[in-house]
C-alpha cells in the first residue's frame, strides 16, 4: 500500500491562493491517474503503443463549498499515437472514462472529457 502525505490546510480549501493542497485536489489527482492508467491499459490490450499520453484534471468546488466538489472541470488526454485516427482515439478515451474505477466512484459528479489526438 502506498503512503500519501500532503500538506492540507483549511485555508487552501476555503480561501484563494496556493498555500497547500486540499482534499478536492487529491480526488482530482486520483481521477487523473486512474483515467491515464485505464486508457493506457485499453490501448495495450489493443496492441497499440502510444508515443506519448498526457492526462490532466482540474477540480472545481461549488460556491457554497457544501459539496466535496461541484465537478471535475476538465479531464483531458493529449496523445500521440502513430497510425490512429481521431474517431478511434475518442472511442478509447470515452471507454476509459466510463470504465475507470474512480469515475464510477464519482458517478454523481459531472466529469467532462476533452481528448485530443496530436
* Amino acid 4: pLDDT: 55
Using CB atoms within 10 Å of the CB of residue 56, give its burial: 0 to 12 exposed, 13 to 18 middle, 19+ buried: middle
Q: Flag whether pLDDT at 1 surpasses 70.
A: no
Q: Flag whether pLDDT at 24 surpasses 80.
A: no
pLDDT per position as a tens digit, 68-95: 555 565 566 788 999 999 999 999 988 8
Q: Flag whether pLDDT at 55 surpasses 80.
A: yes
DSSP-based three-state secondary structure for 31: helix
The grid cell for 94 is 470515452
Ordered structural domains, the chain, with CATH: 33-117 (3.30.300.20)
Looking at the whole model, is its pTM more than 0.85? no
* Amino acid 34: pLDDT: 87
21 secondary structure, DSSP code:
B
Using CB atoms within 10 Å of the CB of residue 93, give its burial: 0 to 12 exposed, 13 to 18 middle, 19+ buried: buried
Amino acid at each position: 500500500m502506498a503512503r500519501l502525505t500532503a500538506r492540507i490546510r483549511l485555508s487552501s480549501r476555503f480561501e484563494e491562493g496556493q498555500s497547500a493542497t486540499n482534499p478536492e485536489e487529491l480526488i482530482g489527482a486520483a481521477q487523473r491517474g486512474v483515467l491515464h492508467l485505464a486508457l493506457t491499459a485499453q490501448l495495450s490490450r489493443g496492441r497499440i503503443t502510444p508515443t506519448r499520453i498526457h492526462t490532466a484534471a482540474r477540480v472545481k468546488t461549488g460556491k457554497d463549498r457544501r459539496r466535496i466538489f461541484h465537478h471535475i472541470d476538465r479531464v483531458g488526454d493529449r496523445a500521440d499515437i502513430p497510425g490512429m485516427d481521431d474517431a478511434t482515439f475518442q472511442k478509447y478515451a470515452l471507454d476509459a472514462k466510463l470504465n475507470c474505477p474512480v469515475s464510477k466512484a464519482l458517478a454523481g459528479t459531472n466529469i467532462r472529457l476533452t481528448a485530443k489526438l496530436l
